[in-house]
Amino acid sequence: MPRLRTAAAATLLFIPIVAGGFLLQESPARASATLFDQVFSIVARQYVDSVPIAATYEKAARGLVKELNDPYSELLSPKQSEDFNRGTNGRYGGTGMYIGQVKLDEQDIVIVDRVFPHTPAEEAGVREGDRIVAVDGVTTQGLRLDQVSDRLRGEPVSTVAVTYARPGVAEPIKLKFVRRVVHVPAVAYNGIVADKIGYVPLQTFNENAAEEVATAVRTLVSGGATGLVLDMRGNPGGIVDQSLAVASLFLREGQDIVSVRGRGLPTEISKATGKHLATDIPLVVLVDGGSASAAEIVAGALQDHDRALVIGTTTYGKGLVQSLYSLNGGYQLKLTTGKWFTPSGRSIHRERKLVSGRFVEVHPDSGSTDSLKRPTFKSDAGRIVYGGGGIRPDIRVADDTLSTRQQEFWRSMAPKSQALQAVLIDYALELKGTVLRDYKVPATWSTEIMRRLSVMGFKVDPKFADVAPAELASELDRRVARLSFGDIAEKSRTLRDDRQLRKAIEMLQRSATQAQLLARVTDGQ
């Protein structure tokens, strides 16, 4: 997420036009201004359907921004501005549920995917897998997911009535919530994921990101962690100041974090300052193609200063700075005004262009041979790091993928997804409290899942008998572990499915210092 600049900048931006800028323009510019005035006037007076003047101006403004061919510059309506601000602040007035939508019997069903702790939803007993039937008496049938979400959200202290359907419960469940400010965590959980290896999943850079990472690091180090994994896979970015604060936690005072180069402006360099909690403990950063913007700033700085070993796949390459200008009527203009560069001078941005209505990479990452095409730079210790857009890992580890048979099986189960979700949640809740922390998954679990699906009118295709039991048992295992012992227990039990995290743990367990960790890459891992 780009740096947000003050509304004052917006005033300065428009002063030359208001103060007679057209008088200073050369003839082509004056001609273009006249052309715009003529087109605007004719459309307003002669177009077959009447278009309100206000709407015409808005369309013109949107057209101007669109024609920049920049996927990151955007004119935000008042509603879009509200959603944008809510997303970056990490707080909203609501009930505390993460919802999703699945198709069942040709109908779109809204289900509860997650219930946040210490929220009205958790306190009322809402469960994963519950189906949202109505909000304030309005059926959810026919509504898009964002429309249901908008109805659930509102001003804190206001009330909202929600009707649920729960598998196994005949009557609808009707609940009334008093909305509260809900904190969406940047670090949903943390813990020891393997022998003395601490794990910190950072999912966004909201206003609390640095504080939550710092708290997690303190907890893990005081608990005996001798190595740390900062997982930023799938992290789309967020508030840039928070990325600077997160990077500072692991760097020394005064080290460069990122620089901004803009049009006609001196280069701005942001340096590490403030809290420095973990400057020595061996650190691995996990990234992938979903890691972008603020996440790339952190990964690039830690890699350039040899402070972290970066593992995973090349990041997205979102290295443009957006300034946010507040406009009249609640509108906001998000405009690209600069580019980010890592301390070694690498541009984070990966160029994209508009092709058939879609933005595609100009020079796509070609996998393991990508290094042959990329410009090279040097880290503080003289290690080669690669430019060319995005942050290329020190160790490239592709994410695990399902086998063809597994993919075919899950496609066959897609029409049954709602029923399967219900069976898994109900069964996991029944098993909660009946298993020990180091439990083994019995064969009876998958048999029971298939029996319960059959009772609901769904049968697993016999041709998938070779993969179905293991796949279903694995899905149930995840839920049982999380419901019984928490998120970190689920992560520990599913390491077999996370090749990148397994590699990080392996490297950390073989390295007592950061220097040893980095040396292992040079030595062939």
- Residues with a catalytic annotation lie at 293, 304, 318
Helix (H), strand (E) counts: the chain: 16, 23
Compute the distance between CA of residue 391 and CA of residue 100 in angstroms, rounded to an integer: 31
DSSP state string for 90-112: TEEEE--EEEEEEEETTEEEEEE
Distance CA(140)–CA(369), nearest Å, equals 49
* Ordered alpha helix ranges (H), 313-463: 404-413, 417-431, 444-455
Whole-number Å distance between alpha carbons of 362 and 353: 6
Which of 401, 253, 247, 252 has its CA nearest to residue 313?
401
Contact 216, 200 (CB under 8 A): yes
The half-sphere exposure of 17 on its side-chain side, counting CA atoms within 13 A, is 8
- Yes or no: say if 517 and 284 are a contact pair by the CB < 8 Å rule: yes
Q: For 478, how many CA atoms within 13 A lie in the half-sphere containing its CB?
A: 13
Name every residue whose Cβ is closer than 8 Å to that of residue 67 and which is 6 or more positions away in sequence.
Answer: none
DSSP 138-202: EE-TT--HHHHHHHH--STT-EEEEEEE-TT--SPEEEEEE-EEEE--SS---EEEETTEEEEE-
Q: How many CB atoms lie within 10 A of CB 504?
A: 30
Residue located via tokens 């300065």: 12
Distance CA 515, CA 495 (A): 26
Q: In 3D, which of 240, 241, 246 has the Cα closest to residue 216? A: 246
Indicate the burial class of 525 (C-beta count within 10 angstroms; 0-12, 13-18, 19 or more): exposed
Contact 287, 312 (CB under 8 A): yes
Q: Which of 222, 185, 224 is nearest to 206 (CA)?
A: 185
Rounded alpha-carbon distances, angstroms, from residue 339 to 267, 296, 349, 390, 450: 10, 13, 7, 12, 53
Tokens of 20: 């007679």
Q: How far is CA 18 from CA 11, 12, 22, 446, in A?
A: 10, 10, 9, 71
Distances (CA, A) of 347 to 381, 390, 467, 482, 495: 20, 8, 45, 40, 33
